[in-house]
């Protein structure tokens, strides 16, 4: 498999967020990963302290220029996550447009990191007194398709799970345009066990693994999601067990202790045992 990903994300000296979270698993799965580090911090910002340096939009451009001057700006995928500010994000957009001209088949995997249970994305506004219906999310995903992406995954919603309180509902939608011009959409829903801990870097790992598994299952979002969610489950379980072991009985694990057990999860990354099934809806 000859597949090259350009990943533009944060770098932390210690721990697993951004490029640290995305690169190793993609490399383990055989992808060539070119990585532009948008920042270099000692660790993620959930620790008591963090220090480091950031890349400006201009410096990002300089790095891209180096790649372009050597005529190696040919990528199959671009992957982005957290972006610090508008100018940086706009430079990312410019770069992607150029890369898409160089390779029209390029797939841009975007995690639009804006917040969680916050008010920044209006249709994700979390309201304790009103639970959204599935129909609402179907419309949301269709709206997103209309804006651009062929594949949308809502990693967590407030839909009630039929498996109960301990589960949250994730949804996915993939729109395919057939050779005759007609369109079909596969929508899937998964009930995912909630986890009683705050993890950092899981979103970055998720996006990277969704890239990998949609690459292997380009017309089967159901399977791609099952593999992606399953690998997340294995990594998180391993991480929680280890964190509690380190913290000791009755004590809450610290951010360093909760770092993802990434290298220890290599076998799961390579071949995740499926532990949850996606249901195809409508």
Active site residues: 204
Q: Which residue's CB is nearer to another protein, number 59 or number 158?
A: 59
Size of the site for another protein (CB under 8 A): 42
Identify residues 24-83 at the interface with another protein (CB under 8 A): 24, 27-28, 30-37, 40-43, 47-53, 55, 59, 62-67, 69-70, 72
Q: What is the CB neighbour count within 10 angstroms for residue 100?
A: 15
In whole angstroms, give the CA distance from residue 96 to residue 88: 12
| 199-236 as b/e: b if 16+ CB within 10 A | bbbbbbbbbbbbbbbbbeeeeebbbbbbbbbbbbbbbb
In whole angstroms, give the CA distance from residue 190 to residue 170: 5
Q: Which residue's CB is nearer to another protein, number 43 or number 228?
A: 43
What is the smallest separation between the CB atom of 71 and another protein, expressed in angstroms?
A: 8
Binding another protein by CB under 8 A: which of 9, 11, 201, 226? 11
CA 117 to chain centre: 17
Query: Diameter of the chain by CA atoms?
Result: 61
DSSP state of 6: E
Here the tokens at position 106 are: 């390029």
What is the smallest separation between the CB atom of 20 and another protein, expressed in angstroms?
A: 8
In whole angstroms, give the CA distance from residue 230 to residue 234: 6
CA nearest 279: which of 196, 154, 125, 172?
A: 172
What is the smallest separation between the CB atom of 9 and another protein, expressed in angstroms?
A: 12
Contact range with another protein by CB under 8 A, out of 7-15, 116-124, 194-202, 207-215: 7-15
Q: Does 94 bind another protein (CB under 8 A)?
A: no
What is the smallest separation between the CB atom of 225 and another protein, expressed in angstroms?
A: 24
Identify residues 109-168 at the interface with another protein (CB under 8 A): none
Query: Which residues of the chain form contacts with another protein (CB under 8 A)?
Result: 11, 13-14, 23-24, 27-28, 30-37, 40-43, 47-53, 55, 59, 62-67, 69-70, 72, 256, 262-264, 266
């Amino acid at each position: 498999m000859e597949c090259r990903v350009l990943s533009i994300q944060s770098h932390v000296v210690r721990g697993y967020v951004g490029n640290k979270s995305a690169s190793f698993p993609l490399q383990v799965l055989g992808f060539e990963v070119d990585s532009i580090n948008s920042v270099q911090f000692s660790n993620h910002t959930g620790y008591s302290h963090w220090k480091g340096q950031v890349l400006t939009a201009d410096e990002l451009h300089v790095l891209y220029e180096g790649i372009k001057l050597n005529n190696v700006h040919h990528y199959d995928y671009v992957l982005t996550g957290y972006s610090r500010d508008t100018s940086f994000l706009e430079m990312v957009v410019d770069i992607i447009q150029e890369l898409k001209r160089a390779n029209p088949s390029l797939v841009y995997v975007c995690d639009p990191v804006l917040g969680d249970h916050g008010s920044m994305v209006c249709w994700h506004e979390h309201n304790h007194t009103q639970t959204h219906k599935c129909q609402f999310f179907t419309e949301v995903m269709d709206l997103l398709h209309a804006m651009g992406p062929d594949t949308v995954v809502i990693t967590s919603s407030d839909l009630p799970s039929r498996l109960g309180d301990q589960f949250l509902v994730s949804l996915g939608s993939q729109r395919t345009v057939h050779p005759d011009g007609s369109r079909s959409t596969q929508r899937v829903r998964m009930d995912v066990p909630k986890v009683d801990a705050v993890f950092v870097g899981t979103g970055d790992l998720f996006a990277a693994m969704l890239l990998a598994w949609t690459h292997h299952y380009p017309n089967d979002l159901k399977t791609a999601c099952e593999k992606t969610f399953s690998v997340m489950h294995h990594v998180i379980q391993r991480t929680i067990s280890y964190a509690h072991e380190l913290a000791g009985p009755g004590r809450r694990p610290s951010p360093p202790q909760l770092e993802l057990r990434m290298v220890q999860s290599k076998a799961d990354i390579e071949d995740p045992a499926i532990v949850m099934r996606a249901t195809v809806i409508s």
